[in-house]
Amino acid sequence: MSTMNFHLRLWKQKSAADKGEFIKIHATEIPSECSFLEMLDIVNNRLTREGKEPVSFASDCREGICGTCHMVINGVPQGPGRGAACQVYMRKFENGQTITVEPFRVGAFPIVKDLVVNRGAYDRIIRSGGFISEHTGGAPDASTSLIPKPVADAAMDAAACIGCGACAAACPNSSPMLFVGAKVTHLGLLPQGQAERKSRARNMVRTMQEEGFGNCSNYYACEAVCPANVPASVIAMLNREYIRGEVSQTVGAID
């Protein structure tokens, strides 16, 4: 297995209250087949052996499913290619290349330490409307609700969102509307999600705005970096559902 050498510019910041800075680290003899996070593991092991503080970063499944490995690699949220940062392999880079690694720059995602940000705002958006109250039963009951194949496919495409936050990190407005749109589309297309349909988009968008996120201006940067390939068309669905919810609330108040 061949090895590679890199010059890393890693963001170091003790907490949200401290001023951070880039530090330079030489990553030497890195196996070309290892992932980006495995490379950081190697670097941190060496820093620890030298008595230096390792660089903090978040990870969990390392299979591109959990969305925990939120970081910006050479200016691209989640790094080059279409996948999470844990799915970026060092062979994608040139030997001797300088690689800049920093946290997501989103006001609603405060920095915890180094490359770790707090994405709790996404959880609060989900709690405001990204759920269903319908009892769906067990696995055998799934086939009792007939859903047209195109509708099921569209719902599954939206459900692929892993909530990593790359969409907000890529957007000049720090808008998470690809994320919110994915959740609204996924649940709004299925019969089990109809109970909350009139209020779901309205509540989630309001919470999104309260958290300090911006709105979509059709830059499509979110779609370009989404590791789950969620299409920007879910934002159009979100806008329609939001208007429907607002009209429903207004009519209800008049009645």
Domains along the chain with CATH numbers: 3-113 (3.10.20.30), 119-254 (1.10.1060.10)
Give the start-end residues of each E strand in the chain: 3-12, 21-31, 72-73, 76-77, 98-102, 111-113, 116-117
- Is 0.75 surpassed by the pTM of this model? yes
Whether the pLDDT of residue 255 is over 80: the answer is no
3-state secondary structure of 195: coil
Average pLDDT for 148-177: 97
Q: What angle do CA 116, 118, 122 make, to 5 degrees?
A: 135
Per-residue pLDDT of 106-157, as tens digits, reads 999 999 999 999 999 999 999 999 999 877 778 777 778 889 999 999 999 9
Chain-centre distance for alpha carbon 48: 30
**DSSP-derived 3-state class of residue 77:** strand
